[in-house]
Amino acid sequence: MARLTLVTRPGCHLCEEAAQALDRIGEPWTELNVESDIELEREYGDRVPVVLLDGREHGYWRVEEERLRRDLAR
């Protein structure tokens, strides 16, 4: 099971940049479309992309790669 999840929205350029950042991290990750679930839409709305680490919000809008690498190592 992937520790990283990226919550996205179709057509979101920041989401594309976040996906590229997660690819650079090199850990497996999954993607969730915020529009696929009403609860996700309520929680995140336009505040995408959102990175979840082990199911908890790690950050949004931009991926802080060094911080994420550090937290993955814990």
Give the pLDDT of residue 54.
96
Contact at 8 Å (CB) between 34 and 8? yes
Q: pLDDT of the chain along its 74 residues, tens only?
A: 679 999 999 999 999 999 999 999 999 999 999 999 999 999 999 999 999 999 999 999 999 999 999 999 98
Q: CA distances (Å), 24 to each of 38, 39, 58, 70, in order? A: 30, 29, 17, 14
pLDDT in the model for residue 32: 96
Structure tokens at 10: 């179709």
Q: What is the pLDDT of residue 1?
A: 63
pTM of the model: 0.94
For domain 4-73, the CATH architecture is: 3-Layer(aba) Sandwich (3.40)
